[in-house]
Amino acid sequence: MDRREVAAVLAYTGRLDPRTIRTGTGDARDQIAQWQELLDDVPFATDQGWDVREVIRAHVLDSPYPILPVDVARRWRAHRRDRLDRHSDPTPGADPDDPAAWRAELLRSRNAVAVGMAAPSTHRQITSGDRPRDVEERLREIGSCIPSAVLAELARYRPTRSARESAVAEGVPDALGVRCDWCHAPVGSQCRQRRASPDEAARGNAVRATPHPSRVDLATARRDRHRAV
Ligand SMILES: [Zn+2]
């Protein structure tokens, strides 16, 4: 409130409680200065249910003591707190990758609610109450963020991967999901030919179209173990 608003508040207060009236010019000026000091950030009235006159009227009706500016300031703080308690931050429209802009928008909307320029956003109360799920959770449900049509198209370019995917889909053990004990092909790599040689180090490089049988056995055992759990 500015000086003029504070003077109007004091005139209103004096009408309801004549004990608050200061008669001397200097006294009245001091009183306005004191009230304005404490009520500088308190609005006269907002569209959101705050009116300083209501506070004064309620005090005069409830209390035997003359109202002090601190009484008004405390009521405003309680009003502010109550509004913020009812407010749940709406999702900012700012780019989430810009934390500064995101935070600034949140603070702006909270401040607007606090000072009574905007109504509290009770988003959580009017929706069904489900917590917004994060992206990870939704992805787990859908399985992939790549549409299935695109996956089918991609399959042409990565036959090994797509063979594994269709194996998993059909319930066939995923042999490439385990390391091959026979040719030591690591997880995800196809088996390689092993030259039948007494020398262990001499190993062929040709890729086998199918995994070694022992690898399939290993994958089957692992799948069955997972199913049993
Ligand atoms: Zn192998």
**pLDDT tens profile 63-100:** 999 999 999 999 999 998 888 888 877 777 777 788 88
> How far is Cα 3 from Cα 7, in angstroms, rounded to an integer?
6
* 122, amino acid identity: T
Q: At which residue do the structure tokens 């056995």 appear?
A: 217
Q: If you measure from the C-alpha of residue 181 to the centroid of ligand 1, how many angstroms do you get, rounded to a whole number?
A: 7
* 8, amino acid identity: A
Do residues 78 and 22 both lie within one domain?
A: yes
Please identify, among 26, 54, 86, the residue that sits at the C-terminal boundary of a domain. Answer: 86
> How far is Cα 165 from Cα 179, in angstroms, rounded to an integer?
17
49-58, 122-131, 167-176, range with greatest mean pLDDT: 49-58
**150 within domain boundaries:** yes
**Cα dist. 159→146, 190, 209 in Å?**
17, 11, 11
Do residues 73 and 141 both lie within one domain?
A: no
* Greatest Cα pair distance in the chain: 116
**117 within domain boundaries:** no
pLDDT band for position 201 (50/70/90)? low
Tell me the CA end-to-end span of the chain in Å, nearest whole number. Answer: 69
Q: If you measure from the C-alpha of residue 143 to the centroid of ligand 1, how many angstroms do you get, rounded to a whole number?
A: 29
Q: If you measure from the C-alpha of residue 184 to the centroid of ligand 1, how many angstroms do you get, rounded to a whole number?
A: 6
Do residues 52 and 18 both lie within one domain?
A: yes
| Percent of the chain clearing pLDDT 70 (strictly above) | 75
Cα 78 from chain centroid (whole Å)? 26
Do residues 11 and 78 both lie within one domain?
A: yes
Do residues 7 and 82 both lie within one domain?
A: yes
Mean pLDDT of 135-164: 64
Do residues 179 and 220 both lie within one domain?
A: yes
Do residues 14 and 80 both lie within one domain?
A: yes
Cα 213 from chain centroid (whole Å)? 50
- Tens of pLDDT, residues 14-62: 999 989 888 888 888 999 999 999 999 999 998 888 999 999 999 999 9
Radius of gyration of the chain (CA): 37
Q: If you measure from the C-alpha of residue 112 to the centroid of ligand 1, how many angstroms do you get, rounded to a whole number?
A: 66
> How far is Cα 3 from Cα 51, in angstroms, rounded to an integer?
17
Please choose, from the candidates 56, 126, 55, 132, the residue with its C-alpha nearest in 3D space to the C-alpha of residue 86.
126
Q: If you measure from the C-alpha of residue 215 to the centroid of ligand 1, how many angstroms do you get, rounded to a whole number?
A: 6
Q: At which residue do the structure tokens 């004091």 appear?
A: 10
Q: Which domain holds residue 141?
A: 133-171
pLDDT at 23: 83
Q: Is the pLDDT of residue 188 over 70?
A: yes
**109 within domain boundaries:** no
Q: If you measure from the C-alpha of residue 219 to the centroid of ligand 1, how many angstroms do you get, rounded to a whole number?
A: 12
Number of domain units in the chain = 3
pLDDT at 127: 47
Do residues 177 and 154 both lie within one domain?
A: no
Mean pLDDT of 190-197: 75
Do residues 81 and 23 both lie within one domain?
A: yes
Q: If you measure from the C-alpha of residue 167 to the centroid of ligand 1, how many angstroms do you get, rounded to a whole number?
A: 17
pLDDT at 222: 84
pLDDT band for position 121 (50/70/90)? confident
Q: If you measure from the C-alpha of residue 208 to the centroid of ligand 1, how many angstroms do you get, rounded to a whole number?
A: 8
Do residues 76 and 137 both lie within one domain?
A: no
Q: Report which of residues 39 and 206 the model is more confident about.
A: 39
Q: Is the pLDDT of residue 209 over 50?
A: yes
pLDDT band for position 128 (50/70/90)? very low
Q: If you measure from the C-alpha of residue 176 to the centroid of ligand 1, how many angstroms do you get, rounded to a whole number?
A: 9
**Cα dist. 169→165, 174, 186 in Å?**
6, 10, 22
